């Protein structure tokens, strides 16, 4: 294949907020407990204040600019007071049909300490399922108040004098389902009450409304139409589920997954239109894609199958194919960076589309981790339109090679399963990194942690451009 890429730096899409590279840590499977948190008294795994040292270092390096916690579905059962102070109750940890013992040893102080350790902005999801407005107001006060209220003093007694000043607050999660089984109108009415009361406690917070699919989003936003002053972000979730089994997939499955990742853009555009209609263009409300990623059938009991009859710890293998789907998704995020205000990959360790995996004392990163790390030059950069001419289309209709360009560099993805491409980019780039493997199903593991890892890309300079060969199923990032 022959590919030409032209970067239109006079046609910016906007700034790629670091918040678009957010992650999600839910108390589900081995994500929070075991994956992140081994506890302060753990002797056999090195840790920093109870968090695995290998994971903390990897999160810092990835980087992890934003981290959402404690759910997901878990959030709408979570009572924040259970996770503070010396005496913590053991509760049922409830999420996604799982009922596990939960000792609450990882609570607000621990999570916010983790964010400080890894340089992440925290995003807390409040409980609108089994909680109350007052409970959530108290959580905001506990975290953010800088005066000596009883809650402020309690925070100090628990070891934290300075408020954390948490900005992002989710008002529930998937309240159309696990978060209370609301209909859109009744959720919107509840949201109006919550958001007003929360804003009284701390007028500087940013609140996130729970969205869903087309009908919910239209109806919910319609009900919020005259109350958009209390809406900062509108949440949608998108899991890519059409790619068949995580490791045992056909060529059709491979292309179906990448195509589904691409179609996330249509969903963003549709949601944006609903938001603009509700605000009448009077206010900027961002789309919070606060759960996204690949969810393979062996880790779910619903959706296109054959699915699992029972789900264990929600882990799935992360292959190069998932990393390529990530690259496709990130291209969409860049193009839509003016509409998207934040995004969180689900989830950060061990669960679903995880960039990091652990097993006892073992630790490794998945190919998806490497794509995210290769995107580092794009964080905070300006995204530009970039035109790709390619002589081959995929069976699903998209061009076989795609790209995203920012003031930080250019990332090019060869989505073709079997054909390599000779790529010319007309931009002042000098070097690059390439992520590929013999098979799109390649993965890393405890015994072979570096099977799929970035290698220097061989490039040749021609005039004002750069030329290189991109193997099948690969991603490359080039910088100046």
Asked whether position 297 contacts ligand AHR by CB under 6 A, the answer is no
Asked whether position 291 contacts ligand AHR by CB under 6 A, the answer is yes
Q: Which is nearer to ligand AHR, 173 or 402 (by Cβ)? A: 173
DSSP string covering 102-133: E---S-HHHHHHHHHHHTPEEEEEP--SS--H
Q: Which is nearer to ligand AHR, 349 or 352 (by Cβ)? A: 352
Sign of the Cα pseudo-torsion (190, 191, 192, 196, in order)? positive
To ligand AHR, the closest distance from the beta carbon of 354 in angstroms equals 11
Q: Which is nearer to ligand AHR, 73 or 320 (by Cβ)? A: 73
To ligand AHR, the closest distance from the beta carbon of 32 in angstroms equals 12
Asked whether position 15 contacts ligand AHR by CB under 6 A, the answer is no
Asked whether position 346 contacts ligand AHR by CB under 6 A, the answer is yes
Buried b (16+ CB within 10 A) or exposed e, 153-187: eebeeeebeebbebbbbbbbbbbbebbbebebeeb
Asked whether position 454 contacts ligand AHR by CB under 6 A, the answer is no
* Residues 163-182, mask of contacts with ligand AHR (x by CB under 6 A): ----------xx--------
Of 78-86, 257-265, 344-352, 374-382: span binding ligand AHR (CB under 6 A): 344-352
Q: Which of residues 74-113 bind ligand AHR (CB under 6 A)?
A: 95-96
Point out which residues pair with 358 in neighbouring strands.
Answer: 363
**184 to 190, 196, 222: CA distances (angstroms):** 10, 18, 9
Asked whether position 417 contacts ligand AHR by CB under 6 A, the answer is no
Q: Which is nearer to ligand AHR, 83 or 93 (by Cβ)? A: 93
Alpha carbon distance 105, 64 (integer Å): 23
To ligand AHR, the closest distance from the beta carbon of 95 in angstroms equals 5
Q: Which of 336, 335, 338, 347 is nearest to 411 (CA)?
A: 335
How many amino acids of this chain bind ligand AHR (CB under 6 A)? 13
Alpha carbon distance 180, 182 (integer Å): 5
Alpha carbon distance 209, 223 (integer Å): 12
3-state secondary structure of 90: coil
Asked whether position 45 contacts ligand AHR by CB under 6 A, the answer is no
Alpha carbon distance 104, 140 (integer Å): 19
Q: Active-site residue numbers?
A: 174, 291
Q: Name the one residue in this structure whose structure tokens are 């000596």.
A: 148
Q: Which of residues 56-75 bind ligand AHR (CB under 6 A)?
A: 71-73
Binding site for ligand AHR (CB under 6 A): 26, 28, 71-73, 95-96, 173-174, 291, 346-347, 352
């Amino acid at each position: 294949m022959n590919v030409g890429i032209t970067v239109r730096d006079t046609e910016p899409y906007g700034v790629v907020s670091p918040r678009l590279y957010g992650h999600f840590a839910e108390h589900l499977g081995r994500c929070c407990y075991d994956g992140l948190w081994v506890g302060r008294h753990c002797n056999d795994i090195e840790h920093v204040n109870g968090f695995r040292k290998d994971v903390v270092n990897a999160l810092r390096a990835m980087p992890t600019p934003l981290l959402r916690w404690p759910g997901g579905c878990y959030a709408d059962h979570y009572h924040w007071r259970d996770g503070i102070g010396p005496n913590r109750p053991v509760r049922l940890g409830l999420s996604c049909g799982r009922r596990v013992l939960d000792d609450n040893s990882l609570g607000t102080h621990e999570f916010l300490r983790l964010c400080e350790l890894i340089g992440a902005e925290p995003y807390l999801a409040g409980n609108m399922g089994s909680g109350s407005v007052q409970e959530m107001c108290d959580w905001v006060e506990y975290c953010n108040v800088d005066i000596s209220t009883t809650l402020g003093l309690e925070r100090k007694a628990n070891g934290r004098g300075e408020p954390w000043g948490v900005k992002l607050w989710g008002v529930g999660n998937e309240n159309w389902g696990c978060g209370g089984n609301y209909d859109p109108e009744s959720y919107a009415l509840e949201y109006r009450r919550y958001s007003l009361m929360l804003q009284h406690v701390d007028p500087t917070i940013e609140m996130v409304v729970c969205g869903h699919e087309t009908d919910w989003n239209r109806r919910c936003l319609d009900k919020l139409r005259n109350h958009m002053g209390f809406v900062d972000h509108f949440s949608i979730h998108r899991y890519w589920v059409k790619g068949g089994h995580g490791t045992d997939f056909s060529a059709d499955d491979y292309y179906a997954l990448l195509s589904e990742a691409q179609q996330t853009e249509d969903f963003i555009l549709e949601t944006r239109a609903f938001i603009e209609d509700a605000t009448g263009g009077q206010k900027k409300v961002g789309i919070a894609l606060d759960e996204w990623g690949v969810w393979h059938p062996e880790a779910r009991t619903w959706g296109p199958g054959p699915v699992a009859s029972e789900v264990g710890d929600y882990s799935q293998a992360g292959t190069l194919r998932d990393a390529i789907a990530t690259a496709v998704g990130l291209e969409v995020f860049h193009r839509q960076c003016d509409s998207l205000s934040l995004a969180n990959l689900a989830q950060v360790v061990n669960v679903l589309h995880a960039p990091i995996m652990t097993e006892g004392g073992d630790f490794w990163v998945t190919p998806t981790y490497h794509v995210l790390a290769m995107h580092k030059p794009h964080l905070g950069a300006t995204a530009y339109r970039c035109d790709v001419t390619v002589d081959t289309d995929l069976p699903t209709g998209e061009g076989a090679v795609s790209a995203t360009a920012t003031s930080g560099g250019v990332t090019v993805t060869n989505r073709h399963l079997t054909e390599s491409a000779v790529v010319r980019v007309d931009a002042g780039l000098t070097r690059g990194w390439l992520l590929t493997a013999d098979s799109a199903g390649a993965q890393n593991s405890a015994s072979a942690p570096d099977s799929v890892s970035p290698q220097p890309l061989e490039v040749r300079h021609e005039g004002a451009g750069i030329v290189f060969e991109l193997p099948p199923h690969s991603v490359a990032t080039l910088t100046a």
